[in-house]
Structure 1
Amino acid sequence: MWWRKSREAKFDNEVQRYITKHSDFIFIKFLGYGSYGRTYLVEDVSSHKHYVLKCLRPKHRRSNKTKHKFMQEIQILEQLTLPFVPSIKMTGILLDMPYFVMDYVDGQTFEQLIFDDGQKFKITEALSITQQLLTQVISLHNKGIVHRDLRIPNILLVEGNLHIIDLGLATYMKEVDFATIRNPKRAENHISDLYFVGHFLLFLLYSTYEPTSRKEKSWQEELSLPAEVVSYLERLLCINEPFQSAAEALQSLPIKK
Structure 2
Amino acid sequence: MIFEYFSEKKYDRLVKGFVNNETPYNFIEEIGIGAYGVAYLLEDAASDKKYVLKRLKTKHRHKKKIRQKFDREIKILKETGLHHVPAIISHGKIQDIPFYIMDYIEGKTFEQAIFAEGKRFPLERSLQITKELLSIIKEFHKKGIVHRDLRIPNILLKGNTLYIIDFGLASYINEEIKYDKIINPKRTENHISDLYFIGHFLLFLLYSNYTPTIKKEKSWQEELQLPSAVVDYIERLLLIRPAFSSAEEAFNQIPEI
Note whether the superposition's TM-score is higher than 0.5: yes
Q: CA deviation at 1:46?
A: 3.1
Q: CA deviation at 1:115?
A: 0.5
Structure 2 residue 128 is matched with structure 1 residue 128: yes
Cα distance in structure 1, aligned partners of 2:49 and 2:188: 37
- Where 1:101 maps in the other structure, the secondary structure is strand
Q: CA deviation at 1:223?
A: 1.1
TM-score (norm 1): 0.95
Deviations along 1:24-64, one digit per CA (max 9) or x if unpaired, are 21101111022321111101223322111010111211101
TM-score (norm 2): 0.95
Match of 2:230 in 1: 229
Match of 1:109 in 2: 109
Gaps of 5+ in 2: none
Q: Which runs of 4+ in 1 moved over 6 A?
A: none
Which amino acid in the other structure matches residue 153 of structure 2? P
Matches for 1:242-257 after TM superposition, within 5 Å = 242-256=243-257
CA contact (8 A) 1:39 1:54 kept: yes
Cα distance in structure 1, aligned partners of 2:142 and 2:89: 23
CA contact (8 A) 1:155 1:164 kept: yes
Matches for 1:36-75 after TM superposition, within 5 Å = 36-75=36-75
Cα distance in structure 2, aligned partners of 1:90 and 1:100: 6
Structure 2 residue 216 is matched with structure 1 residue 215: yes
What is the total number of aligned residue pairs between the two structures? Answer: 256
Q: CA deviation at 1:95?
A: 3.1
Cα distance in structure 2, aligned partners of 1:62 and 1:136: 35
Q: CA deviation at 1:167?
A: 0.8
Gaps of 5+ in 1: none
Q: CA deviation at 1:198?
A: 0.4
Compute the RMSD of aligned alpha carbons. Answer: 1.5
Structure 2 residue 138 is matched with structure 1 residue 145: no
Cα distance in structure 1, aligned partners of 2:238 and 2:122: 20
Deviations along 1:196-231, one digit per CA (max 9) or x if unpaired, are 000100000000111222222221122121111111
